[in-house]
Amino acid sequence: MTRARVEDGELSPYRQMAIFTGNSHRGLAEQVARHLEMHLGEVEVFEFPNEEVFVRYLDNIRERDVFIIQPIVSPVNTRLMELFVMIDAAKRASAGRITAVIPYYAYGRSDKKDQPRVPVTARLVANFIEVAGADRVLTMDMHAGQIQGFFNIPLDELTAFPLIAEHFRSLHLAAPTVVAPDVGRAKLARDLAGRIDADIAIVDKRRVGNSSTAEALTLIGEVGGRDCLIVDDEILTGGTVASAVQLLRARGARSVRVACVHPVMAPKAFQVLDMPEIDEVVYTDTLPVVHGSFKNVPVTVLSVASLIGDAMHRIHTGGSVGALFR
Ligand code: R5P
């Protein structure tokens, strides 16, 4: 594995980079560190018997450029608290700069007041991260781009869709059609279709109340005899994707593949999506999949570790993060 290289900005005002992780996804953090030819820093992150989170850095981090890798995964509220406390402890240990690396930003779906008397929790979490003392955020494919604006500190948002596009391109499908499983993903589907020279179709989905039940109602676009690629930012219960799959098959799709960046995957998702109508499920390793596995559906996991590592190296050295996608 070669060290990430940048064309510009080889100077960093911070003496040394240091990478730490809490208890969310050590495997990913280790891969990122390996990609950068570094070791993870030593830190204790644990809960007391009363569930209070405690953190202690065992390495000196004074004036270091500290990166804390912590996707917000199950148990979500504990992992969030770990992130806040790790940031606070790093600040009090005189870190030079603290970047919260959050490959999966939970609570992203609560990004607007779309009914009376509800919170905007995505904004609340952003406030907590800032108040804890983070100087920057590095994240990936948030539920909605405007969540970037909830932060008053610099935020870099990476995307895994070029990786997903590359995977689909490598399959050399005869008649690919990228399908948005709801209108909110139409732009995403169009971008991906552009990358792999495919057509697009859009499913009109309706959620039943605030429950996780999703209904695919209508389809815009042609899918008969086509190789359909459903793309979404995340899969939680699998309901959105399952109803889209059924609709596509009913309209004569030849094959159906499903891809998402964040496999949040509640246990139920493995029953809901273990269906013969699905030819492949593709997701990345922004989060660990711990609540089950598929018995019948082939799964492809694409790693985002080198992408995150390259972005961290560019942040450290003042290189362009955007250039990673050009
Ligand atoms: C919704 O807008 C999101 O993009 C996903 O479609 C949704 O979060 C998936 O949830 P579920 O798998 O529970 O249907």
User: What average pLDDT values come out for the chain (326 residues) when binned by 10 residues?
Assistant: 45 80 98 97 98 97 97 97 98 98 98 96 98 98 96 98 98 97 94 96 81 75 97 96 96 98 96 96 96 92 98 96 91
State how beta strands 280-284 and 43-47 pair: unpaired
Residues written for the chain? 326
Residue 251: per-residue pLDDT: 96
Burial label for 204, CB within 10 Å (0-12, 13-18, 19+), is: middle
Domain boundaries, the chain: 17-159+305-325, 161-302
Residue 144 Cα, ligand 1 centroid: separation in angstroms? 12
Do residues 120 and 158 make contact, with C-beta atoms less than 8 angstroms apart? no
205 is catalytic: yes
Ligand 1 centroid – CA 266 distance (Å): 11
Q: pLDDT value at position 2?
A: 40
Q: What is the pTM of this model?
A: 0.93
- β-pairing verdict for 97-102 and 65-69: parallel
Identify the pLDDT of residue 12: 64
The predicted pLDDT at position 326 comes to 79
For residue 299, give the 3-state DSSP assignment: strand
- Asked if the domains at 17-159+305-325 and 161-302 fall in one CATH topology, the answer is yes
Q: 233 CB less than 6 Å from ligand 1?
A: yes
Atom of ligand 1 nearest to the CA of 181: 6
Class of domain 17-159+305-325 as given by CATH? alpha beta
Tell me what pLDDT residue 138 has: 98
Report whether residue 184 contacts ligand 1, using a CB cutoff of 6 Å.
yes
What is the reported pLDDT for 3?
A: 44
From ligand 1's centre to the CA of 234, what distance in Å? 6
- Whole-number pLDDT of residue 320: 96
Cα(251)–Cα(275) distance, integer angstroms:
17
- Name the CATH code of domain 161-302 (choices 3.40.50.2020, 3.40.50.800, 1.10.357.10, 1.10.3720.10): 3.40.50.2020
